[in-house]
Each structure stands twice: as structure tokens, then as C-alpha cells.
Amino acid sequence: MLARMITIQVGDDLRARCPKFCLGLIEASVNNTPTHDALWVEIDTLCRTLQETVSVEDANRHPQIVVTREAYKRCGKDPNRYRPSAEALRRRILQGKPLYRVSTLVDLVNFASLKTGYSIGAFDLAKAVGPLCWGIGREGEPYEGIGRGVLNIAGLPVLRDATAAIGTPTSDSERTKLSLETRRLLYVINAYGGRTGLEDAVRWLAERLATYAAATEVETAVTG
């Protein structure tokens, strides 16, 4: 029998600064692969559309990126030094650089961020410990971002498990990152401007998770 879907709390510190903060959650059993050709047809089409319709100067003007940047400022972080992942991906594409190819599960979440403007966390649930809670990063709090080394997360919105921080909208942690061995994943869509559009994003991503990663036992939720 499938265990009850994981729940995530939002700490008072983050709620006070970001009162409209909401989460879109997708938990599923999956089959990861190195790549998926049909997925990349969709990704390449979106990248071409963005390059034809959006300028580099407008990379941070998507509504979801705007509210995420404002959340950074409210929590104490400069969004020009620590960019939300959705903005960083968009800037990369608009500068004519190719999107990274990592694995189907990672490529899919990057695709979703490019399309929706949400920064989305991706976690291997076998590597997370105990309950999860959002808060604000503290000075000196240890954190190793994926491909970024040690990251100063003080003043960033931070997702923690029972032992340490595992995610921020800038970069997820090495400890809980997805791999080809991942069998149960959690996607966390960060919405700092409320629920509008969030349910559609969850539905869209869950559908493609089923199509491209043979997802089963899929559970979704929108909270906040």
C-alpha cells in the first residue's frame, strides 16, 4: 500500500515575509533515463519560441520570476547575485546557450521552469530524512548546491529535512539530487505570488512525468 503523500510545513519566518507563498507538490514512482528524444523535441521548440519572442533584458520580467525575486529581497538576499533557477535558465536560453542535458527527470523539471517561470525543486525521496519544512537560510548554515559547491544560503528561502537544508529556489543540494537510480521523487513548485496558475502547472508537469518517466502512484497537491 502506498504511504501517505509527504507534507511540507512553512515556517513562521518565511510566512511573515512571503504571506502569499504556496507550493505545488508532485510525488511519484518513476523510471529515470539518460535522455528522452520526444521530450527534447518539446524543449527545443520552447527554447526557439523564447529566443524569438523574449529579449535577454526581459529575462527577469516573467510574472513568476518577478515575485520570486521580490521574495528574495524580503528574505534578505540580492536576486542579482543569487538568481532564482527559473531566471538563470531563461537567461541561458536567451543568450543563445543550449539547455543542459542531465537526465530525463532533471531535463523535465528544467523544461517546466522555463515554461512556467516557477523555480522548481527536485528531490530523491530515498535521500531525504523525516519531515520537510520551509524557512529562511541562516548565517553559516552548511549547504552544497548541485554543481555550485558551497553556497551561502543565508537570506534565501530554504527547504529543510530533519537533518539539514536540501533545497532553495537558486539550487537544490547535492545530498538529495536526482540520479538514474531515483525511484521515488518529489517535485516542489515554489509560488510566491499565490495559487493563480499553480494548479495548471502541477497538472501539466504531472502529465509529462507520466509520459516521459513512466510515472506511477502519482500524488499531487497545492498548499498554502
Higher per-residue confidence, 2 vs 219: 219
* Distance of alpha carbon 189 from alpha carbon 186, whole angstroms: 10
Q: Can you read off the three cell numbers belonging to residue 185?
A: 521523487
Q: Answer yes or no: is pLDDT of 2 > 80.
A: no
Q: Answer yes or no: is pLDDT of 90 > 80.
A: yes
* Distance of alpha carbon 78 from alpha carbon 144, whole angstroms: 19
CA angle 17, 19, 22 (to 5 degrees): 120
pLDDT score, position 3 = 52
The CATH architecture one would assign to domain 8-223 is 3-Layer(bba) Sandwich (3.50)
* Residue range 49-78, pLDDT digits in tens: 999 999 999 999 999 999 999 999 999 999
Q: Answer yes or no: is pLDDT of 20 > 60.
A: yes
Q: Can you read off the three cell numbers belonging to residue 137?
A: 537560510
Q: Can you read off the three cell numbers belonging to residue 91?
A: 537567461
* Distance of alpha carbon 49 from alpha carbon 124, whole angstroms: 31
CA angle 18, 70, 58 (to 5 degrees): 145
Q: What is the mean pLDDT of residues 191-218?
A: 98
* Residue range 163-184, pLDDT digits in tens: 999 999 999 999 999 999 999 9
Quote the pTM value.
Answer: 0.96
pLDDT score, position 5 = 84
* Distance of alpha carbon 139 from alpha carbon 58, whole angstroms: 32
* Distance of alpha carbon 194 from alpha carbon 175, whole angstroms: 29
Q: Answer yes or no: is pLDDT of 218 > 90.
A: yes
Q: What is the mean pLDDT of residues 75-94?
A: 97
Percent of the chain residues topping a pLDDT of 70 = 98
Q: Where are the domains of the chain?
A: 8-223
pLDDT score, position 43 = 98
* Distance of alpha carbon 55 from alpha carbon 139, whole angstroms: 36
pLDDT score, position 176 = 98
User: Coil, helix or strand for 57?
Assistant: helix
